[in-house]
Amino acid sequence: MTGEELVREARMASKGFQSKCRKFSGAVAAELLKRALEDEGVLTSARDVFIRGVPLELDLVIPYSGQEPTLDLLYEPEQVALALEVKKSGSFGERTLQAIHSNFEELGKFNVKCAYVTLEERKSYRHKATKENLGGHECFTLAWHKASDGPVEDTNDWNRLLTFIRSRISAANTLAAAQASG
């Protein structure tokens, strides 16, 4: 899978919707990312889940191995390896970036690591998400575009995202094994 392939799938799914609906395109992006991660052997939550004590709806969660949420939607903070904010077409301005940063800071109070993933974004957009403007949280843009319906350029962030997720899961498994034996 590549970022470009995910963008094409998301565009195709949204094409038949007939009207612009950010909620639908966001749901498509989260669902496609979920499926692509599962194709790579990365277990994910259902879309739109919660973490106990955190007043936020989360697009996707990467749970630690063997963790089961209550009612398939409520995780305990210690069950979560990573919370993902997923967008189809990137940031909608400075307020979006501030909201994401604020949400990530709230999750950090519960020791939950976060990352931002967008399927596509304009490379030249001054309010695109970056690790710097998200307070040091990881940021992945899978493809660049000049127009939302034009050609896309793969960023190779898909492989970087997979490496990041696998390292988060591996680190947690190593820690859990050390705690169990020690």
- Residues 152-157: what's their mean pLDDT? 92
Question: What's 70's DSSP letter?
Answer: B
Collapsing DSSP states into helix, strand and coil, what is residue 23?
Answer: helix
What residues form DSSP beta bridges with 80? 63
182: pLDDT confidence band, cut at 50, 70 and 90? low
Q: What is the DSSP string of 140-166?
A: EE-EEESSTTS-EEE-SHHHHHHHHHH
Residue 175 has pLDDT above 70, yes or no: no
Report the alpha-carbon distance of residue 66 to residue 82 in Å, rounded.
15
| % of the chain beyond a pLDDT of 70 | 90
Closest CA to 129 of 95, 106, 105: 95
Of the ranges 12-26, 42-56, 87-101, which is most confident?
42-56
Query: Where are the domains positioned within the chain?
Result: 3-176
pTM of the prediction? 0.90
What residues form DSSP beta bridges with 154? 143
| Alpha-helical regions (H) of the chain | 3-15, 22-39, 94-108, 157-181
Cα 21 to Cα 27, 70, 74, 115, 150, distances in angstroms: 10, 30, 27, 24, 19
- Residues 32-51: what's their mean pLDDT? 96
Confidence at residue 94, expressed as pLDDT on a 0 to 100 scale? 87
Closest CA to 83 of 141, 138, 157: 138
Name the CATH architecture for the domain at 3-176: 3-Layer(aba) Sandwich (3.40)
Per-residue model confidence as pLDDT tens digits over 55-113:
999 999 999 989 999 999 999 999 999 999 999 887 778 898 999 999 999 999 999 99
Report the alpha-carbon distance of residue 85 to residue 47 in Å, rounded.
11
